[in-house]
Every structure is written in C-alpha cells, then in structure tokens.
Homo-oligomer: A and B are copies of this chain.
C-alpha cells in the first residue's frame, strides 16, 4: 500500500461512569461516549489511529490498551499504567496515536488495575489495503465481543483479592454477548434497598439480535474480553469455519463450538442456509470451570431476514460442551495452523529459552500467582520512563529467573509449597532482535487435584505457537515435536490444565512489553512478566506520558 493512501482516523472519547443494566442488574459501568461496549474502531492497514480520551470518571484514573496493535515506533501508546505511561487523571485528556500495521480483528480495553471488568472495551476491525483480497469470501462482516459480567465493582473485587482472609471474585453473574446478558433478577430473592436494582424488562438487557439475509455468507469476528471465563461459542444449526485467529489467517477448520479464551479473537464464516422461517440461538457457555449452576449461558438470537426481529427461538438453547472435557479444547488449539500461502516460518533456532512455571502461592499470607516463584508487582513510575531516563531506583535491577532453579524436580501435580516465593518488579531485558522461546508450564493450583486453562497475552509482538503438550515440559524431547512448518502466529494463547505451551518470538520491537495472563484477577495477583528490548532505539518519549495535568510538559531540571 502506498503511504500516500494512509489515512488518519480520529476519535474523541468521553469516558465516564453511568448506571447501566447490561444483564438487567443496574450498576456503575464505564462507558465511552455513553456506550459499553464502546464504539468500534474501523480502519485500514497502514492507517494512523488517533484517539483523544478524556477521563470523566469521578475519582479513578484510566489507561486504555489497544490489544494486539504492536505499537511499532509508538511503545508509549500501549496504554499500560506503570509500564508505558502514567495513568490519565480525572479531568485530563490523553491522546493515543498509533499506526495499524496489520489487517485483522482486534480489541481495545481498559488496562488499569481491574477496570476492564467495569465495561471499558470494544472491537477494532482492520481491513486490507485497497486491491488486496482476503483468502476467503463472505458477504457481510460483523463483530461480536463476548464478556463475563460481575455485579461487584472492580474495587470491591480487587480489595477482596488483596485481603486476609482472601475473598475470591467467584463465578461471574452472567455472560454478555455484544454487551447484553440476562441475570435472573429473582436470584436476588427480594429487593435490596433499591427496588429498581434489577429489572428483567429493561431494554438495555434485551438480547443481541443478529439479523442475517438467507443465502449469504457472514464473517463473524468473535472476540473475548472475559475477566475470568474460558468460553465456548456456537450458533444453533449452523457450522462455523474458523478462518482467522488474532489477526492471522488460519487453515480453515469446521467447528460446531468455537473455544475462545480471554484476549483471543477469531473470525468464523457461517452460511445462512437453514430453514428461514425461524430463529436460532447464539450461545456462549463457560468451559474449564464448573460454574453452570451460577453462571447461565449467554444468549443471543440469529434472526433470518425479514422475520420480526423480536421473537425468540422455538427451541431450548443448545447445551454447551462438557465443562471439564479438555480434549476438544486441546484439539482446537492443536488444529489451528497458519493458512497455506500465508505461512511465515519462524527462525529455526532460538537464542534464548525461558521456562515460566505458573503457580499459585501464598506470600506473607496473601494469595498470589507467580512465575518461577516470583509474583509480579508494578512500580508506579512506568518502566518506559524509568529505563529511558535511567531511574534505576524505580525497580529491582536484578534479572528475574529464566526458569525455576529446580524445575527438573518440580512436581506439577502437587500443591506448591513454594516456601521461597517472593514479589518483585524486576524485568527481563532481552537482546534486541534475539529469537526467544517461552515455555508456559501449567501446574496444580493451591487446591488439590486442580489445574485450569489460562490464556497468556504478549504485548508488542506476534509469536509463533510451536506446540502444546500435556504434563511436564521435557527440554530434551518436546522441542523435537515443535511445529516449525506452519505454526500459527498469535498474541494470546491458552495453557491447558497440567500442560505446557511453547512460543517463539523475535525481540524486534523497541519498547517495554507486558506478558501476562489475560485474567483480570490473576494479573492483579501478580501473574505477569515484563520484557524490555531495544530501549536505546526508542525515540524521544512524548511528554504526555510523563506526568499529569499542566505539568505534563515539564522536564527534568
């Protein structure tokens, strides 16, 4: 695409709290220009996106992350408080400016403590340059964001997680499809002090209805921003063909259920070829956790045009897959390969291998999540500023471990004793342009015989998914089974119970990048690491990320 064609897409967003009832229960929701999910960003590859965000929250700061946008040349626009910027104060306006370097299906969401859970999220859809065609055909293109939904405020959740005794966030109260869900108000047993707190007939919680034209093919861009839940997604009576994952073309796979983890995006094609006089359920169910009793499936409606769009399907919603059957989920992970003709082969060898053992620990009586026995804490001066300005005192300068010292003898099937777990804000400083392998090793939680599926998300990069395995990673054998022929590139990847996932990426994007579990509570409890690469190649930092209010432009004396 000629540079001359690149456009600037400008958005002005007012972010504030409003009382909304996405699942019929009224609570404070963070809206963008009055909406949650916020406005979709539609752009073309090569466009520059400029989003002027005004923080109209009452007392809370804010930062917004552009999920899967690599921020090449603009690492300060990644939107991570403590990593790439100071947060945006109430009353302040901050301008994010970045180039969209790849086509595909992306997301944005809040990235300040657990604020994503409060409803600040939306979709980004990036089209191909003019004259370039997708490798598959479709007539219409729709974005659907999935979410799980909690009635407690994010501060109530966060305070519980960092309390002694520990208060878990519990299972979500409902699942939202494109911002709409249905909580059974009768579960509240009787009115609280506010009788209007739950209203099943509130139009804000009427189901999302996707009206489609018979005979046409639809591209559905499905993404998940759940706080906790792994999901399955299906459309009653319609097969889906997976064609894109995290912005990369997939060798087409037919699927009845799409399994999707928080932070992932997929495109599926569906043919509108069923009996046109009726309606079909669109459903999403929790998998991987046994919360069927507490979290009802998320329901939406596929409506064949020109039927009246308000009727509901005549059938019961189809059942979801068995929640604890890992096999089909692992099978989907393994089946997703780069599409023929679009394979970008990885470097054959890596320069560095890091094994990240994921464990749940107790540190000073607090429940924490740890990588190699180190639980991550954020400094409050962003790394990007600290590194560029040589503020060495801001974070622990000692490198964190590349693997658990005694990984060989570590029993992943036992509750960790982890007597030596610590908290740290130390970071991994990678050699610029190095090829790095990451092995994510799952293990038992603090509960006997329990290990769960968790998604990990890398900022600033796409990585190759070299392989998944069950059990403990064996450094001598498992790498021989890596798929170096046609691995998919992704940005978010699941790690299955008691399993491992192997990734490879090239540290070629100057900046400071978070790599973390895409579960709000787990990230808050320390499940993250930070990579730095090529900091000396990062351009002059914009003053806007530096401070707050009118002192933004102030300089070091």
* CB of A423, distance to nearest CB on chain B (Å): 14
**Could you mark each residue 172-195 of chain A with 1 if its beta carbon is under 8 Å from any beta carbon of chain B, else 0?**
010000000000000111111100
Known: A113-B59, A156-B28, A159-B58. A551 touches B549 (CB 8 A): no
For A25, the closest partner residue in chain B by CB is B193
Q: Nearest CB to that of A192 among chain B residues?
A: B192
Q: How far is the CA of A155 from the CA of B18 in the complex (A)?
A: 10
Binary contact track A129-162/B, C-beta < 8 Å → 1, others 0: 0000000000000000000000101111011100
Contact between chains at A86 and B89 (CB < 8 Å): yes
Shortest Cβ distance from A16 into B: residue: B159
Counting CB contacts under 8 A, is A112 at the interface? yes
Give the complex CA separation of A155 and B16 in angstroms.
11
Shortest Cβ distance from residue A296 to the other chain B in the assembled complex, whole angstroms = 14
Q: Is A465 an interface residue (CB 8 A)?
A: no
Chain B residues near A192 (CB, 8 Å)? 188-189, 192
Q: Number of A interface residues, CB 8 Å?
A: 61
Of B156, B163, B547, B556, which one neighbours A549 at CB under 8 angstroms?
Answer: B547
Interface centre among A57, A59, A547 (most CB of B within 10 A): A59
Q: Which of B59, B115, B163, B548 contacts A115 (CB 8 A)?
A: B59
A189 to B188, CA, bound (A): 11
A90 CB-CB contact with B under 8 Å: yes
Identify which of A237-245, A378-386, A414-422, A492-500 touches chain B: A378-386
Contact between A58 and B154, CB atoms less than 8 A apart: yes
Q: Is the CB of A189 within 8 A of B187?
A: no
- Contact pick for A158, options B58, B89, B92, B557, CB 8 Å: B58
**Complex-state Cα separation, A87 to B173, whole angstroms:** 34
* A60 nearest CB across to chain B (Å): 4
- In the bound complex, residues from chain B placing their C-beta under 8 Å from that of A154 are 58-59
Any B CB within 8 A of the CB of A391: yes
Whether the pair B550, A386 counts as a contact (CB closer than 8 A) is yes
Chain B hits for A555, CB < 8 A: 554-557
A425 to chain B, nearest CB (A): 11
Does any Cβ of B come within 8 Å of A342's Cβ?
A: no
- The answer to whether A18 and B187 touch across the interface, beta carbons within 8 angstroms, is no
The answer to the question of A546 belonging to the interface, with a C-beta cut-off of 8 Å to chain B, is: yes
Question: Which one of B59, B159, B193, B378 lies within 8 Å of A28 (CB-CB)?
Answer: B159
A183-209 residues at the B interface, CB under 8 angstroms: 187-193
**CA A87 – CA B549 in complex, angstroms?**
10
A380: nearest chain-B partner, CB-CB: B91
A542 at the interface (CB under 8 A from B): no
Contact indicator A548/B550 (Cβ below 8 Å): no
Known: A551-B551, A554-B556. A190 touches B187 (CB 8 A): no
Known contacts: A19-B163, A159-B19, A554-B554. The answer to whether A113 contacts B58 by CB under 8 A is yes
Question: Which residues of chain B have C-beta atoms less than 8 A from A551's C-beta?
Answer: 86, 385, 546-547, 551, 554
Q: What separation, in Å, do the CA atoms of A89 and B87 have in the docked complex?
A: 9
Chain B CB within 10 Å, residue with most, of A18, A173, A192: A192
A394 at the interface (CB under 8 A from B): yes
Name which residue of chain B comes closest to A389, CB basis: B550
* Contact A61 B90, beta carbon cutoff 8 Å: yes
Cβ-defined partner of A59 (8 Å) among B112, B380, B552:
B112
Say how far A551's CB is from chain B's closest CB, in angstroms. 4
With an 8 A cutoff between CB atoms, is A215 at the interface?
Answer: no
Which residues 113-129 in A have Cβ within 8 Å of B in the complex?
A: 113-115
CA distance A188 to B188 in the complex (A): 11
Q: Is A17 part of the contact surface with B, judged by Cβ < 8 Å?
A: yes
Asked if A18 and B548 make an inter-chain contact with CB atoms under 8 angstroms apart, the answer reads: no
A553 interfacial contact with B, CB 8 Å = yes
Q: Is the CB of A92 within 8 A of B554?
A: no
CB contacts (< 8 Å) of A548 on chain B: these are 86, 89, 547-548
Question: Across the interface, which residues of B come within 8 angstroms of A57, CB to CB?
Answer: 155
A551 vs B546: C-alpha distance when bound (angstroms): 6
Q: In the bound complex, how far is the Cα of B86 from the Cα of A380, in angstroms?
A: 16
Mark out the residues of chain A between 83 and 119 whose CB falls within 8 Å of any chain B CB in the assembled complex: 86-87, 89-92, 112-115
A58 touches B557 (CB 8 A): no
Contact yes or no, A190 B193, CB < 8 A:
no
- What CA separation (Å) do A112 and B58 show in the bound complex? 9
When chains A and B are docked, how far (Å) is the Cα of A87 from the Cα of B381?
16
Asked if B550 and A381 sit within 8 Å, CB to CB, the answer is yes
A109 to chain B, nearest CB (A): 15
Among the listed B163, B167, B189, B391, which residue makes an inter-chain contact with A191, where contact means beta carbons less than 8 Å apart? B189
Q: Are B89 and A61 touching (Cβ within 8 A)?
A: yes
Given A58-B113, A89-B89, A551-B554, 8 more A-B residue pairs with CB atoms under 8 Å apart are: A19-B159, A19-B167, A60-B155, A89-B380, A189-B190, A546-B547, A551-B551, A555-B556
- The contact sample of 26 A-B pairs, CB cut-off 8 A, is A18-B163, A28-B153, A28-B159, A57-B155, A59-B59, A59-B158, A61-B89, A82-B91, A86-B89, A86-B548, A87-B89, A91-B379, A151-B193, A173-B193, A187-B193, A188-B192, A380-B549, A382-B549, A391-B550, A546-B551, A546-B554, A547-B554, A548-B548, A554-B554, A554-B557, A555-B557
Please provide the 7 A-B residue pairs with the shortest distance between their CB atoms, ordered closest to farther: A91-B380, A547-B547, A547-B551, A554-B554, A59-B60, A381-B550, A190-B190
